[in-house]
Structure 1
Amino acid sequence: MAQKSAKLLAVKNSSRLKQTHLITLVIHIIFLVLAFTLRTSLRITPYLVLSAPALALEYWLESIARPQYDAQGNLRRPGDDLDAPGLTEFFWDVIYWTWINLLAVAIAGNRAWWCYLVVPAYAGYAAFSTARGVKSMFGGMAGAGGEGDQSAQAQSRRQQKMEARGGQQKVRYR
């Protein structure tokens, strides 16, 4: 029972990577067969350019998540968790969207390549909203550089009363 969670993670990673590689292979074969036989109008250059990031991300996930065993077959390293939130999750989104896009292009034709712009558009939106949130978080630290109207509205009732009485708080010593 030693390292049970590590062994479970290794098995889970191995099966998920195998499944991912199989699905990727099937989708790319379907696209290429359709491109060279039935739909000869499909362009290969966008396929190569837009499939490269997903293939690179799949290779990256393979390199970080593939379990490693020693010569005796004992688990040396289970690999990183493929269900980890954050960047790994975004990698999976790019891979899944590439699969969907390849099938859409195979069915609908070359105009479906424009659907791939959803990924960079979403990344831009996420970066913009994050930057806007950071700006609002540090907004009060900017000083009086053009935010005079907002600082008057941001004062509490206690601060407004203090300013009405003369602006300084009196300190009593006992």
Structure 2
Amino acid sequence: MAQKAAKTLATRNAAVLNRTHLITAALHLLFLILHFTFQRPRSLKPYVFLAVPTLGIEFYLDRVGRPRYGEDGSLRSAGEDLNATGLTEYMWDVLYWTEGCIVAVCIFNDRAWWLWAVVPVYSIYLVYTTVMGVKKGFAGMGGGAEGADPQAQMSKTQMKKEKKGDRVKYRSR
């Protein structure tokens, strides 16, 4: 029962990486076979420029996510969680999108590589929303709301006290 979570993570990571490697190898092989056999107007320049770097992403994900075992077969390291959010999630998105683009290029032609332009546009969108969220967070701290309505900056308790004239009421018995 010890290290059950680590063993589960190791099993899941190994399965995900093996499946990803098989799909990637099949798609790249399909593209290359179609390129060299049918002589359709497919150029290798966009393939090398756009698809080959994702092999580096896949190698990195394999490097950090692959479980490591000791000499006796015991689990030394389960690897990083490949379902983690943030940069890991973004790398999976780029990998899957590139695989989709390879399929589109195999079905249509080299113009389908333009679908890959969605990745930088999506990156710019993520940076913009992050910066705006941080800016909004700093504005809530009081530093970014200069010249704004003073009533909007007051809490409800402060507005009630100001409305009462900040006087103390005594109860009579």
Q: TM-score, normalised by structure 1?
A: 0.82
**Aligned pairs, number:** 163
Structure 1: segments with no counterpart, 5+ residues: none
* TM-score normalised according to structure 2 size: 0.83
Please list, as runs of the form range in 1=range in 2, the aligned pairs for 1:139-154 lying within 5 A after superposition: 139=139, 140-142=142-144, 144=146, 148=147, 150-152=148-150, 154=152
Alignment match, 2:171: none
Give 1:57's aligned amino acid: I
Equivalent in the alignment of 1:6: 6
* One-letter amino acid matched to 2:59: Y
TM-align CA RMSD: 2.4
TM-superposed CA distance for 1:83, in Å, is: 1.3
State the 1:43 CA deviation: 0.8
CA–CA separation in structure 1 for the residues paired with 2:11 and 2:123: 32
Encode CA deviations 1:49-96: one digit per residue, 9 max, x unaligned.
101332111111100011111111111111111111222111111110
- Which residue in 2 is equivalent to 1:72? 72
Residue 119 (structure 2) aligns with = 119
| Rounded Cα–Cα distance in structure 2 between residues aligned with 1:135 and 1:40 | 50
- Secondary structure, in 3 states, of the residue corresponding to 2:143? helix
The answer on 1:100 being equivalent to 2:89 is: no
Percent sequence identity is: 44
Equivalent residue number for residue 44 of structure 2? 44
User: Cα distance 1:106–1:70, how it changes in 2: closer, same or farther (>3 A)?
Assistant: same
Q: Aligned in 2, Cα 1:133/1:2: closer, same or farther, shift over 3 Å?
A: closer
Deviating beyond 2 angstroms after TM superposition, the runs of 4 or more aligned structure 1 residues are 150-159
CA distance in 2, matches of 1:97, 1:44: 18
Query: C-alpha separation between the residues in 1 aligned to 2:95 and 2:43?
Result: 20
Q: Say which SS state the counterpart of residue 73 (structure 2) adopts.
A: coil
Relative distance call for 1:153 and 1:110 in structure 2 (3 A) is farther
